[in-house]
């Protein structure tokens, strides 16, 4: 992605349309909320944009600075095809992670960063190894069905899809009876999301069918009231690839 496209993508975030569901994301310059509390201490790194120039590099084994991470993400995004889209359907991939790669060789003086991106257009993960010392990408792998923990934006999109699903999901009713108020926005609750794959390590055949999750990118939502009481959200997952809510109890879907 060119620098210009990144700026354009940032601008699109003010109000983005994700399939048929409208999702409000905070404007650039103000980190989007993740529900109640806990996020106040995050602030923009610089002006929030990815660095254009390679920053000063730390020792090869030191934790990444924000500038190093941001610059590595910039280089990694440039490996995606022009058709790539993030969770908001904006050009570019969804950035899932950027950190030092595992298996660091203590004798390797290179400053390496592993960046993981998700292209929603192709429904594939792109994992890129960036050599900041050489100022270039050295490895680039694309795979399907590899689902990393979600980004903040993915969590927000998934929650919004769950809010708007029809028939309404039971946790909304549970919220209403618990608080005497309807659940309308993410700011009313704490939300944690995890990548969901059918069966997982338990190998349960009953949990392995009926969904397209795995090849599709699905999230499970864990939603808590301000009191700390968790709502019952174990009966559905959100398929971000298809923008649908899947009922785990009967295998059906909840439409928007």
Partner 1 sequence: MGPDPGRRRRHALLPTLLLSSLVVAIPTTVSAAETPASNSDDLGCGSAEVTRTLATGSAWRMCARIHPFKGLVLEDVQFRPATGDREYAGWMPVLDSLYLAQLNVPYDTATAAFNDITSYGFGDDQLLSQTSETCGGETMDVEQSFMRGSVLVERTVPGICLDEVGTGLGWHSQEGYANSGDAYEQRGSGLEVSSLSKVSWYEYQQTITLSDQGTVTVGLGATGDLAPGQLFFPTDPTVGWPVGPAADGEQRHGASHWHNATYRVDFGIGTGPQQVEQWDYEQPNPGKPALLRGTGTVRDRAFTAADPDPTTWWRVVNPTSLNPDGHPRSYEIVNDATTDPYLPLTRPVVSFTNDHSCQEYASMNLNAECPGASVADYVAAETDPLTDPVAWVNVGFHHVDRDEDQSPMPVHWQSFSLVPRDFLAQQATTPRERSCDNGMTLGRTGSCAAINTSPPTITAEAPSAGPPAPGTLLTATTGSWRHARAPLTYLSLWLRDGQPIVTVGPDGLPAAVTGARYLATELDSGHAISVQVTASATGVTPGSATSAPVTISSDQPASAPGTTTARARPTLRLHLTGGRADRPRLRIVVRGGLGPVTGRVRIQTDGDRGVARRLGQGRATVTLRRPHAGRARVVVRFLGSQLYLETTATVWLPARAPRSALLEGGTP
The nearest distance, CB 254 to partner 1, in angstroms, is 18
Give the binding range for partner 1 (CB under 8 A) out of 23-31, 158-166, 177-185, 238-246. Answer: 23-31
Q: Which is nearer to partner 1, 138 or 255 (CB)?
A: 138
**Interface stretch with partner 1, choices 33-41, 158-166, 180-188, 239-247 (CB under 8 A):** 33-41
Q: How many residues bind partner 1 (CB under 8 A)?
A: 87
Give residues 88-127 in contact with partner 1 (rule: CB under 8 A). Answer: 88, 90, 95, 97-107, 116, 125-127
- The label of the residue with tokens 């499970």 reads 220
If binding is defined by CB under 8 A, does position 173 make contact with partner 1?
A: no
Nearer to partner 1, 115 or 163 (CB): 115
**31-45: burial string, b at 16+ Cβ within 10 Å, e else:** ebbbbeeeeeeeeee
Nearer to partner 1, 163 or 195 (CB): 195
Q: Restricting to residues 207-226, which ones interact with partner 1 according to CB under 8 A?
A: 207, 220, 222, 224
In the set 17, 22, 62, 176, which binds partner 1 (CB under 8 A)? Answer: 62
Question: What per-residue string of b and e applies to 103-116 under the rule 16 or more CB within 10 Å gives b?
Answer: eeeeeeeebbbbbb
Site for partner 1 in 124-143 (CB under 8 A): 125-127, 141-143
The set of long-range contacts for 30-36, using a CB threshold of 8 Å and a minimum separation of 24, is 32/152, 32/153, 32/156, 33/186, 33/187, 34/152, 34/155, 34/156, 34/186, 34/191, 35/186, 35/187, 35/188, 35/189, 35/190, 35/191, 36/187, 36/188, 36/189, 36/190, 36/226
Single out the residue of 41, 53, 180, 250 in contact with partner 1 (rule: CB under 8 A). Answer: 41
Single out the segment in contact with partner 1 by CB under 8 A; choices: 32-40, 158-166, 177-185, 236-244.
Answer: 32-40
b/e per residue, 147-157, with b = 16+ CB within 10 A? bbebbbbbbbb
d(CA 45, CA 26): 16
* Window of 149-157, 161-169, 181-189, 236-244 that interacts with partner 1 by CB under 8 A: 149-157
């Amino acid at each position: 992605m060119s620098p210009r496209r990144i700026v354009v993508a940032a601008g699109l975030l003010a109000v983005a349309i994700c399939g048929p569901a409208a999702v409000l994301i905070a404007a650039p310059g103000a980190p989007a909320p993740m529900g109640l509390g806990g996020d106040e201490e995050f602030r923009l790194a610089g002006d929030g944009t990815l660095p254009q120039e390679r920053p000063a590099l730390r020792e090869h084994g030191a934790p990444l600075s924000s500038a190093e991470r941001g610059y590595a993400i910039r280089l990694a995004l440039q490996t995606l095809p022009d058709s790539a889209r993030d969770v908001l359907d904006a050009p570019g991939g969804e950035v899932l992670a950027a950190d030092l790669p595992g298996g660091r060789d203590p004798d390797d003086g290179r400053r390496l960063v592993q960046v993981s991106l998700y292209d929603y257009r192709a429904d594939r993960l792109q994992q890129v190894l960036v050599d900041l010392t050489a100022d270039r990408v050295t490895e680039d792998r694309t795979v399907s069905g590899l689902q990393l923990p979600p980004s903040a934006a993915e969590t927000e999109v998934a929650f919004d899809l769950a809010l708007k699903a029809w028939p309404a999901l039971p946790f909304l009713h549970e919220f209403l009876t618990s608080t005497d108020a309807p659940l309308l926005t993410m700011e009313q609750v704490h939300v944690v999301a995890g990548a969901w794959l059918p069966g997982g390590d338990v190998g349960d055949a009953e949990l392995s069918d009926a969904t397209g999750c795995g090849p599709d990118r699905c999230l499970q939502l864990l939603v808590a009231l301000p009191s700390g009481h968790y709502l019952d959200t174990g009966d559905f997952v959100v398929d971000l690839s298809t923008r649908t809510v899947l009922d785990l109890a009967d295998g059906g879907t909840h439409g928007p």
